[in-house]
């Protein structure tokens, strides 16, 4: 096999190094060759991101007869050192809010359901501490990760009580009085200051490392290698840290992707350039060497569970030709929150049918308004999304979910799915021939507005950076074809046949439906993806400036001509843009409200 110059430099490197590897750049192949180039007697530890990656990596190292390489995840390594050597019982899943309230006998008063709100924050505080590199709970300020004003007010009021009960629950686990969580034994492993008997330690997916495990890693005497992609850091909400930024090692790049073409690479880079708005360093150039092959796997990728379910509902109710679908992680994981509550519980609460509610926490709520108040004070995003779905679809939910489940196939038959649905987080590490992106990601326009309308100190730049990363990860799952909403299209992107632009939003579609029916029909693309989509090239044949950014001068000109009463059709011709684009800009500038 012929390696790139970048790969060869890594294989031949010495000392501690970090590798910034773009999506599809053959990092696993490079790491295997790096291990192969070490002395045969070397003891090598490869730390995989999760269990599925561990199994895959174990096979790949074995296929190369690298039996001196041990493959572990952070948790499997910690499990062997802590759980095996102690008489701990591990809880399969984390503790639910109501279970924590019962275990600790919480008595918080004042707010409605205060003890459950306190329990929810205790749960998050424990996760925060266990994934940190701190040695004591008191070394952390939990308020730093609470952003909602109502939640901050509540936590400030009960802070000492929340901290005390957090320490109490941890001590109960430590003494073996209750089952321990996976996060707990990882923390216990870090605090034990282990010394691992390896000559080389290879840390994969370093951009989303647990600070606790990173602390273990840095304290080893072995030669250290960190591999990751700075722009794929998307687990900040789990308190992950970017070890590539923490490690003062010599840096190597893997900037050539063998997954996708240069067109998709250019799109990914243009999205990453939005980080300039956050005063972050621009990305390095990505080279795309992927070649377009036969379309076998097609996926819809969304930012949120809500966005994904809405798109899935569209497919099963409107695009009935799709017979078999598959959800990464199984459909049930999208209809249940981590706490255990289901969409059906929230629907029953909304309908006032408490006898049908199974979840103990939801059962405590008198109505949906109380649940929304709880969500505000706990920042429970998953429950919040469920409430939104219930409000949108109401009593149609059971039949809709039933339709989705009827078309859902088993994991073993995944390759036969006509469409795969996934959130970005669940398809990390995956790749698909054709990808359709849902319009629930941050856009350049939204980002610009946030930055211009807010003071710098009021913005969470880390979260905004991660939002850009989420779109980048979604884009780089595509191998051959990418379908992207026009709202997410970078202003500076050049036209490309492999990148298809999906139609305008619902409100504009209604206004422009008659016109659009004559020129844009729902069609099955040659890749087999059903969508109202069209390429920039096709549109610019009729509308010369389509998808180019609006300037202040153009906005002023549009305003003047609108005030003069010039028809949308004529405005479209004058500005060289689609009717939908003109209507969208009129709405954005609120010209109808201002001038009628």
| 126-139 residue pLDDT tens | 999 999 999 999 99
At residue 502 the predicted structure's pLDDT band, cuts being 50, 70 and 90, is confident
The residue ranking higher by pLDDT, 299 or 306, is 299
At residue 510 the predicted structure's pLDDT band, cuts being 50, 70 and 90, is very low
At residue 523 the predicted structure's pLDDT band, cuts being 50, 70 and 90, is very low
Mean pLDDT across the chain, nearest whole number?
87
Q: How much is the pLDDT for 205?
A: 92
- Residue 524 CA neighbour count, 13 Å, CB half: 8
CB 67 within 8 A of CB 46: no
- Range 515-520 average pLDDT: 35
- Range 468-493 average pLDDT: 92
3-state secondary structure of 516: helix
Neighbours of 469 (CB within 10 A): 23
3-state secondary structure of 555: helix
The residue ranking higher by pLDDT, 237 or 136, is 136
Q: Residue 209 belongs to what H/E stretch?
A: strand 209-210
Domain ranges of the chain: 5-83+187-254, 97-179, 298-502, 552-595
Q: pLDDT tens-digit profile of 251-290?
A: 999 999 999 999 999 999 999 999 999 998 878 899 999 9
Q: How much is the pLDDT for 596?
A: 67
pLDDT > 90 fraction of the chain, expressed in percent and rounded: 60
Q: How much is the pLDDT for 494?
A: 63
- Range 307-313 average pLDDT: 87
At residue 538 the predicted structure's pLDDT band, cuts being 50, 70 and 90, is very low
Q: What is the pTM of this model?
A: 0.80
Q: How much is the pLDDT for 284?
A: 80
Q: How much is the pLDDT for 329?
A: 85
Angle (nearest 5°) at CA 491 between 486 and 492: 130
Q: How much is the pLDDT for 517?
A: 35
Residue 187 has pLDDT above 80, yes or no: yes
Helices in 413-532 by DSSP H: which ranges? Answer: 444-453, 461-475, 506-517
CB 416 within 8 A of CB 409: yes
| Domain 5-83+187-254: homologous superfamily in CATH | P-loop containing nucleotide triphosphate hydrolases (3.40.50.300)
Phi-psi region of 176 (alpha: psi -120 to 50; beta: other; left: phi over 0): left
The residue ranking higher by pLDDT, 567 or 286, is 286
Eight-state DSSP code of residue 425 = G
At residue 542 the predicted structure's pLDDT band, cuts being 50, 70 and 90, is low
């Amino acid at each position: 096999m012929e390696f790139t110059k970048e790969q060869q430099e890594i294989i031949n490197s010495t000392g501690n190094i970090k590798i910034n590897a773009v999506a599809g750049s053959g990092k696993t192949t490079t790491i295997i060759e790096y291990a192969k180039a070490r002395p045969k007697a070397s003891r090598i530890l490869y730390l995989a991101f999760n269990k599925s990656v561990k199994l895959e990596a174990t096979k790949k190292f074995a296929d190369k007869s690298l039996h001196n390489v041990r493959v572990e995840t952070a948790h499997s390594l910690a499990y062997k050192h802590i759980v095996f050597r102690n008489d701990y019982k591990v809880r399969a899943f984390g503790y639910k809010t109501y279970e924590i309230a019962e275990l600790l006998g919480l008595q918080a008063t004042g707010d409605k359901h205060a003890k459950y709100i306190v329990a929810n924050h205790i749960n998050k505080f424990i996760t925060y501490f266990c994934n940190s590199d701190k040695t004591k709970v008191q070394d952390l300020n939990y308020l730093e990760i609470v952003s909602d004003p109502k939640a901050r007010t509540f936590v400030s009021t009960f802070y000492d009580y929340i901290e005390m009960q957090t320490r109490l629950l941890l001590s109960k686990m430590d003494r073996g009085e209750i089952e321990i969580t996976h996060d707990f034994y990882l923390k216990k492993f870090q605090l034990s200051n282990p010394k691992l008997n390896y000559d080389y330690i290879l840390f994969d997916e370093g951009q989303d490392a647990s600070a606790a495990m990173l602390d273990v890693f840095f304290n080893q005497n072995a030669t250290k290698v960190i591999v990751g992609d700075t722009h794929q850091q998307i687990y900040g909400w789990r308190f992950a840290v970017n070890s590539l930024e923490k490690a003062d090692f010599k840096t190597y790049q893997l900037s050539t992707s063998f997954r996708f073409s240069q067109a998709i690479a250019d799109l990914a880079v243009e999205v990453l350039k939005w980080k300039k708005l956050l005063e972050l360093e621009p990305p390095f150039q990505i080279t795309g060497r992927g070649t377009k092959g036969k379309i076998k796997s097609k996926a819809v990728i969304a930012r949120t569970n809500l966005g994904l379910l809405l798109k899935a509902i569209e497919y099963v109710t409107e695009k009935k030709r799709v017979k078999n679908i598959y959800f990464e992680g199984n459909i049930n994981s999208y209809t249940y929150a981590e706490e255990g509550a289901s969409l059906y519980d929230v629907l029953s609460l909304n309908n006032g049918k408490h006898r049908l509610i199974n979840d103990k926490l939801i059962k405590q709520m008198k109505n949906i308004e109380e649940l929304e108040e709880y969500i505000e004070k706990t920042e429970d995003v998953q429950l919040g999304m469920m409430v939104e779905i219930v409000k949108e679809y109401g009593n149609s939910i059971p039949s809709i979910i039933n339709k989705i489940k009827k078309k859902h196939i088993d994991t073993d038959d995944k390759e036969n799915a006509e469409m795969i649905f996934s959130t970005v987080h669940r398809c990390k590490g995956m790749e698909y021939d054709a990808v359709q992106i849902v319009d629930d990601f941050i856009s350049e326009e939204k980002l610009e507005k946030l930055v211009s309308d807010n003071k710098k100190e009021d913005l969470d730049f880390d979260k905004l950076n991660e939002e850009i990363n989420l779109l980048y990860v979604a884009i780089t799952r595509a191998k051959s074809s990418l379908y992207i909403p026009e709202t997410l299209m970078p202003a500076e992107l050049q036209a490309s046949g492999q990148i298809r632009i999906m139609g305008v939003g619902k409100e504009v579609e209604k206004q422009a439906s008659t016109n659009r029916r004559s020129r844009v029909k729902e069609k099955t693309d040659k890749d087999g993806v059903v969508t109202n989509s069209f390429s920039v090239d096709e549109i610019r044949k009729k509308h010369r400036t389509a998808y180019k950014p609006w300037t202040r001068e153009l906005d002023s000109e549009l305003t003047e001509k609108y005030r003069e009463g010039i028809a949308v059709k004529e405005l479209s011709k004058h500005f060289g843009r689609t009717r939908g684009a003109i209507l969208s800009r009129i709405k954005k500038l609120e010209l109808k409200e201002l001038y009628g």
